[in-house]
Amino acid sequence: MDTTNDIIDNENFTDRMSKRDRERKIIIEKRKEEKQQLSVDSEQLGYFKSTFYDKCNKIQLLLDSITSTTPLLTDLFDKITKDIQLLKNYLSQSKIFLKVYDIRRAQENLQHLENKTSELEDKYIPKKKFGFKKRCVINKNITIDNKIDVTDNIKNDKIIIDCEISKHNDLMDKYNDNKTTIINRINEKIILDANDVNKNDIMLDNLNNCQVKIYGSPSTLHMVNLVNCIILIGPVSSSVFAHNCNDCTFVFACQQFRLHSSINCNVYIHVTSRAIIEDCKNINVAPYNWNYDEQQNHYLLSGLDVDTNNWDSLDDFNWLSYEIQSPNWNIIKPELRIQNWNL
């Protein structure tokens, strides 16, 4: 009897030792995998920093070398802009293994390069000065309920009225002095002619319950402090920036789009790079679908690639997960999209 119990005890002891040995091996293997993963993450971070900041330094050196006598300045600035966009894409793809600090630092470097590029481009390739004169053309058939229709020169029956000359101060100075500006408007319908906006910068500031149609190909578009507005624009050759816009609908094509501190906006967009949102909520997107006469010519003037449209690929700087889409933006269902823009 004692012998049998000894045998059983020995078997139990052996089983316990075997189980403990298996658990120990599992723990060792798990730690090994974690160590390997840390090594991989470290290698990825090291490679990112080396590649990213090496390219940033090269762009900075190129910017520092630019003078008024540098040949082919337009082509050079185009190349720099594309290189910065490539770095943005690289940063976006690397967020999965980057820490928040690394992401913010990289974003600050890119913002510095963009600001420097814009500053030098404005200095050495100044844009044509433009502003509303004291008298503007208006269609006499559309002057009801305080609505103003600045025509696109396609109607013959016109009258001349006085038009507000406006200049924005702080935000205008941040970008450049040569900008077509619409500011401090309420309950108005405004249409800008292609001849007035082609290759110019447009500023829309402090508009409430307004409808704005801009025909042509502006160079850039800045929208600030808009509430309950509908903005339709032809192809913008470079960037669209919007800040503090609520309950608005935007319809435009561009190379880059950034939306900050805005809520409840619908954006019908054609964008050749990945759009960026930050501090935004309930942003809904759909493909650009406004059509008008001469639009194809305006696309050619803008230089935008009509075959490249990342309308459904937004990067949210407040959402760092690479695998799960940000809850701050959604795609508008096809049956809910506006098809007719005859406002």
With bands split at pLDDT 50, 70 and 90, how would you rate the model's confidence at 187? very high
| Main-chain dihedrals φ then ψ at residue 26, nearest 5 degrees | -65, -45
Rounded CA gap, 300 and 55, in Å?
Answer: 31
With bands split at pLDDT 50, 70 and 90, how would you rate the model's confidence at 174? very low
**Per-residue pLDDT at 13:** 63
- As given in the structure block, the two tokens for residue 228 are 């309950």
Rounded CA gap, 222 and 243, in Å?
Answer: 8
Q: CA 29 → CA 11, 16, 18, 25, 32, distances in Å? A: 27, 20, 16, 6, 5
For residue 169, give every residue at least 6 positions away whose Cβ sits within 8 Å of its Cβ, in sequence order, or none.
Answer: none
Asked if residue 109 has pLDDT above 60, the reply is yes
| Main-chain dihedrals φ then ψ at residue 115, nearest 5 degrees | -65, -40
Sequence length of the chain is: 343
Q: CA 260 → CA 302, 315, 330, distances in Å? A: 24, 12, 16
State mean pLDDT over 169-192: 71
pLDDT in tens, 79-92: 888 889 888 888 88
**Per-residue pLDDT at 142:** 33
In terms of C-beta density within 10 A (0-12 exposed, 13-18 middle, 19 or more buried), how is residue 123 classed?
Answer: exposed
**Nearest CA-CA partner of 86 in 46, 63, 58:** 58
With bands split at pLDDT 50, 70 and 90, how would you rate the model's confidence at 223? very high
State mean pLDDT over 271-281: 91
**Per-residue pLDDT at 34:** 52
Task: Give the residue with greater pLDDT, 274 vs 134.
Answer: 274
**Nearest CA-CA partner of 262 in 302, 288, 231, 289:** 231
Asked if residue 35 has pLDDT above 60, the reply is no
Asked if residue 193 has pLDDT above 50, the reply is yes
Asked if residue 102 has pLDDT above 60, the reply is yes
**Per-residue pLDDT at 55:** 87
Which of 13-27, 176-190, 269-283 has the largest mean confidence? Answer: 269-283
Which of 8-12, 77-81, 335-339 has the largest mean confidence? Answer: 335-339
Which domains, from first to last, does the chain contain?
A: 2-124 (1.20.58.1250), 135-336 (2.160.20.70)
- As given in the structure block, the two tokens for residue 153 are 């020169």
Task: Give the residue with greater pLDDT, 300 vs 165.
Answer: 300
Rounded CA gap, 320 and 75, in Å?
Answer: 34
- As given in the structure block, the two tokens for residue 320 are 């760092």
**Per-residue pLDDT at 141:** 36
State mean pLDDT over 8-25: 68
Task: Give the residue with greater pLDDT, 191 vs 152.
Answer: 191
Task: Give the residue with greater pLDDT, 96 vs 105.
Answer: 105
Asked if residue 291 has pLDDT above 90, the reply is yes
Asked if residue 221 has pLDDT above 50, the reply is yes
pLDDT in tens, 142-161: 333 343 343 333 333 332 22
Average pLDDT, the chain: 78
Asked if residue 275 has pLDDT above 80, the reply is yes
Q: Helix (H, G, I), strand (E, B), or coil: what is residue 258?
A: strand
